[in-house]
Amino acid sequence: MKPVFKPTKIGQLTLKTPVVCASGTIGFLREAQGLVDFNYIGAAVTKTLTLEPRHGNQGVRIAEVECGMLNSIGLENPGIEAFLRETYPQIKRFSPVIIVSIAATSTGEFEKIGRLLCAEKSIQGAELNLSCPNVRGKIISQYPQEVYKAVKAFKEQFKRTTIAKLTPEVTDIIETASAAKKGGADALSLVNTFLGIKFDVKTRKPILRNIYGGYSGTGIKPLALYKVWRVAQNMGIDIIGGGGISNWQDAIEFFLAGANAVSVGTATFIYPDTVEQIVKGLYRYMKENKLRKVGKLEILG
């Protein structure tokens, strides 16, 4: 039986399934051709792009750890203009909604990127990566006022759906979530990775060249669920919930916590068909239990 869900709304975007591929885990979609069935993906978030090309961090950039992985890629990317000129024309025909992930270091850069994206009429959604944990410098989404300024600067240029991706590494995520909404964000992506370190006991040095990186995987699920639940309980805004999701049961928990859609990332490195299995599992669970709705998830057929 083919899963048929009520369309999922994220801002002004309409997703055919409630599962999103997280930024950095599906590249620019073309890398996943032949490995992933795009028909099961509601939206795919591109690898994060910056105004200028970046080579990323040097040395070891990924390390396997208990219940997940550490990454310290450093936002390696070709730059927004090269993406729009060379890559986007090749992938815009793909079936998932494409959400372009961007990062910047100043309000001026956010404005410029917003202007460039706005010129491409078919791009309907952008995710502001305000929380990359492995680039030297401050994490924007640890500072509410900086979140507000960044989102506002971008949104003034890009009038379409804007999603703010926030770090969980804050005292009270309501403060940064509220700042993003006040700045004009249509939705939130909760959460980005936590910070972590792994040491080599033989060399007695950090495994990652950058010392620390972003910790993702099943180990962060209870922590991410709490952040989603807390925001959902206190704010009226669309939420893409993610962090440690590897099966449909995990996804159900995020819907129960208040997410509109769920984001899957690290699990796809192990099993590329994870999204497909989650979508099928969600539908099967609801049919078997005679449920039309679980949280904000609803089926039609």
Q: What pLDDT digit, counting tens, does each position of 265-291 carry? A: 999 999 999 999 999 999 999 999 999
Cα separation values, 296 from 38, 123, 165, 252, 254, Å:
23, 25, 20, 10, 10
Share the mean pLDDT of the chain: 96
Q: Count of CB atoms within 10 A of residue 195's CB?
A: 15
Q: Count of CB atoms within 10 A of residue 160's CB?
A: 17
Q: Which of 40, 48, 51, 154 is nearest to 97 (CA)?
A: 40
Average pLDDT over every residue of 31-56: 96
Q: What pLDDT digit, counting tens, does each position of 154-187 carry? A: 999 999 999 999 999 999 999 999 999 999 999 9
What pLDDT is recorded for position 1? 66
DSSP bridge pairs for 187: 163, 238
Residue 272 burial class via C-beta count within 10 angstroms: exposed 0-12, middle 13-18, buried 19 and up: middle
Q: Count of CB atoms within 10 A of residue 121's CB?
A: 7
For the entire predicted model, the pTM comes to: 0.97
Q: What pLDDT digit, counting tens, does each position of 118-129 carry? A: 999 999 999 999
Tokens 């039309």 -> residue: 292
| Strand pairing report for 19-21 and 261-264 | parallel
| Per-residue pLDDT at 53 exceeds 70 | yes
DSSP bridge pairs for 293: 298
Q: E strands, 38-116, where?
A: 43-45, 62-65, 68-71, 97-102
The residues, ordered by sequence, that sit 6+ positions from 233 with a Cβ below 8 Å of its Cβ are 258
Q: What angle do CA 297, 300, 34 make, to 5 degrees?
A: 75
| Per-residue pLDDT at 294 exceeds 70 | yes
Q: Which amino acid is at 15?
A: L
ω into 228 cis (within 30 of 0): no
Q: Which residues are catalytic?
A: 132
Which superfamily is assigned to 8-57+74-196+217-298 in CATH?
Aldolase class I (3.20.20.70)
Cα separation values, 73 from 16, 207, 211, 276, 283, Å:
31, 13, 12, 26, 35
The domain segmentation of the chain, as residue ranges, is: 8-57+74-196+217-298
